[in-house]
Amino acid sequence: MAGVAAVVPCKDEADRIGATVAAVSALDVVTRVVVVDDGSSDGTTAAAEAAGADVVRHPVNRGKAAALRTGVARVRELEAAAGEAPAALLFVDGDLQETASALGVLTDAVLDGSADMTIATLPAQITAGGGRGLVVGLARRGIEHLTGFRAVQPLSGMRCLSPGAYEAASPLARGWGVETALTVDVLRAGLRVLEVPCELQHRVSGRDWRGQLHRAGQYRDVWLALVRRGWRPWQRG
């Protein structure tokens, strides 16, 4: 595999994206960083470009899965133009800032072929907030029911995928269902998934109305992704 290409989907991260891009770019194995600005209303695009990322912008907000798809298409386009083989993919949330430098441990197992997809598990977060685990519980139960895999942090967005794992998970599930569906689809293709502890800190959604709205949207998308893959949570057993 020809190194690692990072894809950073984000919205309204002008204050954080520069530090995130700098930290990811500094990883030895990372050959390019593509930021997808998903209809931000702040200076996210300018900040990402100033930090040296290749930026693709959605004029209107289309959700995280669409942003990832746009980012991977851009990576493949750049590789084809340069005559390079497809790199492994590193999906990175835009709000990790300097802590994104800890992502190196995610790439090792994919590059040495011992896993097809790695998922970062995060330590306790310094910032306050967070939900009451409803969405996490839903995703964990659904993934376990469909695949037998018990995920510690089923919604973690930091993942490294081999080109084959990405193909197996395509087309990606919509919106916030993308992480849950990635795990189910990669496992169902007979590929290997590994959770790897990673010293990351991100902005945690709060308990205000904005945070609750975010979690309601997450719940809907995770539920849809699981039902579309055959889980019937309303039936027992």
Ligand X SMILES: Nc1nc2c(ncn2[C@@H]2O[C@H](COP(=O)(O)OP(=O)(O)O)[C@@H](O)[C@H]2O)c(=O)[nH]1
153 contacts ligand X (rule: CB under 6 A): no
Taking CB under 5 A as the criterion, which residues in 115-144 touch Mg ion?
none
| Shorter beta-carbon distance to ligand X: residue 32 or 215 | 215
203 contacts Mg ion (rule: CB under 5 A): yes
User: What is the rounded CA–CA span in Å between residue 188 and residue 200?
Assistant: 28
CA 75 to each of CA 7, 79, 151: distance values in angstroms, whole numbers, following the listed order? 8, 6, 28
| Sequence-distant (≥ 6) Cβ neighbours of residue 237 within 8 angstroms | none
Structure tokens belonging to residue 85? 């083989």
Kindly state the smallest distance separating residue 38's Cβ from ligand X, in Å.
3
- Which of 93, 116, 185, 195 binds ligand X (CB under 6 A)? It is 93
Exposure pattern of 38-67 as b/e (b: 16+ CB <10 Å)? bebeebbbebbbebebbbbebeeebbbbbb
- Which of 95, 116, 185, 195 binds ligand X (CB under 6 A)? It is 95
In this structure, what DSSP letter does residue 154 have?
T
Q: Which range touches ligand X (CB under 6 A), out of 58-66, 79-87, 109-117, 120-128?
A: 58-66
- Answer whether 119's CB lies under 8 Å from 159's CB: yes
95 contacts Mg ion (rule: CB under 5 A): yes
202 contacts ligand X (rule: CB under 6 A): yes
Q: How many CB atoms lie within 10 A of CB 146?
A: 18
* Binding footprint of ligand X, residue count (CB under 6 A): 17
Return the one option of Mg ion, ligand X, none that residue 140 interacts with (CB less than 5 to 8 A, by type).
none
Residues in contact with ligand X by CB under 6 A are 9-11, 13, 38, 61, 63-64, 67, 93-95, 157, 202-205
Residues in contact with Mg ion by the rule CB under 5 A: 95, 202-203
